[in-house]
A = this chain, B = another copy of it.
Amino acid sequence: MISVGILGGSGYAGKKLLQFCTSHPFVSEYKVYGNKTAGTLISDIFPELTGQVTDTKVESIENLSFSHDLYFVALPHGEALKYVPAIIKNGKKVIDLGGDYRLDDKDEYEKWYGINHSSSELLNQKIYGLADYYGTQYSNTNLVANPGCYPTATLLGLLPFTAGFGDEIISSSTIAYSGTSGAGKTPKQDLLMAEMDGDVSAYKVNSHRHQPEILQTLKKFGFNSPFSFTTHLLPAAVGIYATTSVHLRNNVDEKTVKEYYKTFYENSPFVRLREVPPHMTWVVNTNYCDINISINDKVMIITSTIDNLIKGASGQAIQNMNKLYGWDEVLGIKAQGAKNVSVY
């Protein structure tokens, strides 16, 4: 049993984190630390959680205690830099849900995030916690950088092909759509229901911070072909749908590739390989990533979908906690009693 500190936690991903921690069998207690919300009851921030979480007041982050075993950091980028080094120094573990420790390279971070990285020595000590890919290597670190929502969906779809058939790739283009909860809880005119109902728009075209995060991991698998990444908002609260179009040098056999994916994910309880393009609603409110691949005439279309707040944030964070402590990775984020069922 461990004690958990949650920094931030008043946002959409934070809410899920509170729910998961409440029902996790090995989390004995948790405390939430915040700035503006300090002194507020959890049930006043999230009235819907009344009766579903142990109701406590948010502590001021100024009074952050180092007595917890593990800290989930759900702060805006730049803010995590203020707290993570001290927590690590105190010998405790951190899972950072933000972007501050995802990139390996200080310069790359400063270029894309526009701020100085004051604890870049930690960048190479961290694990980039793409939980469904990595196996057992979590034992040597106290710092997990939880992947971004888009990179999770994109990488889980494209990584196996890169690993197994990367030389076949002429070019790849990922075009992803997200529910608006991904844009956060801060009121903005563009995010109003009255604006977003029936709307779609691309944003941060050619400039999204998740692009270098995706490329960094792809490159570790030898990826060296042209790549583009374009994000959109869609009229829904939750979910990410990523479609990756890969142009191929040759007619790669679809069946062979599917077998490769199957083997690649055979120990990944949260990846479901599908025979048809998945529906986003299949994964909403779950920690699953559903993936389909279709190859025809030198074109491979990969569709992958996740719940941006769970698999793309707090669910994967719990999965990473489970891996950090050597527990069954499905604990607290998968319905009890259900046996795994293979799809292919």
Q: A residues near B, CB below 8 A? A: 12, 19, 22-25, 43, 47-48, 50-55, 170-171, 173, 175, 177, 179-181, 183, 185-189, 191-203, 205-207, 226, 228, 230, 232, 234-239, 241, 243, 245, 247, 269, 272, 274, 277-286, 288, 292, 294-299, 301, 303, 305, 334-341, 343
Whether the pair A340, B51 counts as a contact (CB closer than 8 A) is: yes
Bound-complex Cα distance A197 to B233 (A): 14
Nearest CB to that of A278 among chain B residues? B201
Number of copies: 4
Given A191-B193, A193-B197, A206-B299, the answer on whether A170 and B340 have CB atoms closer than 8 Å is no
Known: A247-B173, A279-B199, A337-B23. A194 touches B194 (CB 8 A): no
Contact across chains for A228 and B200 when beta carbons are under 8 A apart: no
Q: Which residues of B contact A187 (CB under 8 A)?
A: 187-189, 191-192
Cβ 8 A contact of A341, one of B55, B191, B281: B55
Distance from A74 Cβ to chain B, minimum over Cβ atoms (Å) = 16
Contact A237 B197 (CB under 8 A): yes
B-chain residues with CB within 8 Å of residue A203 when the two chains form the complex: 277
Assess the B197–A236 pair: CB atoms within 8 A. yes
Residues of B within 8 A of A288 (CB): 51
Known: A234-B234, A236-B197. A226 touches B202 (CB 8 A): no
Q: Does A236 contact B200, Cβ atoms closer than 8 Å?
A: yes
Contact A245 B173 (CB under 8 A): yes
Most buried by B among A170, A189, A281: A281
Question: Told that A47-B274, A51-B269, A186-B189 touch, could you supply 9 new A-B pairs with CB distance under 8 A?
Answer: A22-B335, A23-B336, A179-B198, A193-B197, A194-B237, A195-B237, A200-B279, A228-B247, A228-B299
Which 4 A-B pairs give the minimum distances between C-beta atoms? A173-B245, A187-B187, A202-B277, A48-B282
**Contact partners of A337 in chain B: CB under 8 A:** 22-24, 54
Complex Cα distance A281/B197, Å? Answer: 9
Chain B hits for A334, CB < 8 A: 51-52
Residues of B within 8 A of A239 (CB): 198, 200
With A47-B282, A200-B305, A279-B47 as contacts: A335 and B193 at CB distance below 8 Å = no
Residues on the B chain within 8 Å of A237, using CB: 193-195, 197-198
List residues of chain B with CB within 8 A of the CB of A278: 47, 201
* Chain B residues positioned under 8 Å from A272 (CB to CB): 50-51
Partner of A192, one of B185, B292, B294: B185
Please, which residues of chain B bring their CB within 8 A of the CB of A196?
Answer: 193
Kindly list chain B residues whose C-beta atoms are within 8 Å of the C-beta of A297. Answer: 206
CB contacts (< 8 Å) of A189 on chain B: these are 185-187
User: Are A197 and B194 interface neighbours, CB within 8 A?
Assistant: no
Between A243, A269, A278, the greatest number of chain B beta carbons within 10 A of the residue's beta carbon is seen for A243
Q: How far is the CB of A201 from chain B (nearest CB, A)?
A: 4
Contact A280 B170 (CB under 8 A): no
Which residues on B sit within 8 Å (CB–CB) of A283?
48
Considering the complex, give the chain B residue whose CB is closest to the CB of A21. Answer: B337
How far, in angstroms, from A192 to B181 measured CA to CA in the complex? Answer: 9
Given contacts A235-B236, A272-B50, contact A194 B206 (CB under 8 A): no
